[in-house]
Amino acid sequence: MSPLAEIVAITAVCVLSGCLGSLLGLGGGTFVVPILTLAFGLDLRLAIGASVISVVAGSAAASPRYLDEGFANLRVAVTLEVATVSGAIAGALLAGHLSTRALYTVFGVVLAVSAVQMLRHRQDRDGLAVPDDPIADALSLHGTGTRAATGTGTGTGTTVRDIRPYRVTRTATGLTMMTAAGAISGLLGIGSGAMKVPAMDLAMRLPIKVSTATSNLMIGVTGAASAVVYLQRGDVVPLLAGAVALGTVVGARIGSRLLAVVPAEALRAIFLVVLLIVSAQMLLRGLA
């Protein structure tokens, strides 16, 4: 394959990666790193450098729509981002001192743990009391989730938004998990949504769509914090990063439109399957 054909192929594949990353709140980097290393045979550190750039680009492309649609919780994102950015800087500094096999293994383990968490299929708790959380109350983190609903009773068949309030709990637990998620993001060049989404969905009790949209909003800031370190270290190849970012942006725009129509349970199932597949691939490479 010629260099030009390879760049075109990488861009095309990253469209799908960006779409899934935006839809699931994982960040395209979760898929970009395995694709560039396993399918195109690129060095892991160069793949991570390109992935960090794509994470920022994909988040910037999808976040405005999530905010307009009312999915992303801006207050939760800002609160948790304080912990995530601190972890991201520490992880990026640590990455330069670990072997390639160690990075593969850590990547695989992190995704496997996230998959196990999502297997604990959270029961439908609508109507049940959420434990009080003084931190969430003080910071006004509670919000409303929206979902598409057809039929307005007027016979027009138009689509309206079904608005449902939700309460946030266990903010301290969420902050602890976000510090670890940030470290993983800086270490592996991913958006760390693989840990952020389960943390918000299972621990803080945010609806799954709000969790994925808020995670997508956060990963751009997290990626930008660690991108500086990768740029200074020379792990970012401009042509490769540009191709990956272009594909990711296009895919992220598509994924942001799909979130409103994909059922929550289908979203959770896709999330789980993707994590299991990528985790297995990376663990095999790391332990081989």
Looking at the chain, the whole-number percentage of residues with pLDDT higher than 90 is: 10
pLDDT value of residue 15: 92
Helix axes 238-258, 3-24, angle to 10 degrees: 40
Residue with the bigger pLDDT between 206 and 223: it is: 206
pLDDT confidence bin for 198, thresholds 50/70/90: confident
pTM of the model: 0.76
CA angle 56-59-65, nearest 5°? 155
DSSP string, 103-153: HHHHHHHHHHHHHHHHHS-PPP-TTSPPPP-HHHHHHT--EEEEEEEE--S
C-alpha span between 33 and 107 (Å, rounded): 10
The residue assigned the tokens 């709140």 is 25
* pLDDT (tens digit per residue) in 60-73: 888 888 888 888 89
Q: 144 has which bridge partners?
A: 165
Which of 256, 206, 242, 209 shows the shortest CA–CA distance to 60?
256
When computed from its CA atoms, the radius of gyration of the chain, rounded to whole angstroms, is 18
Sign of CA dihedral 50, 284, 38, 30: negative
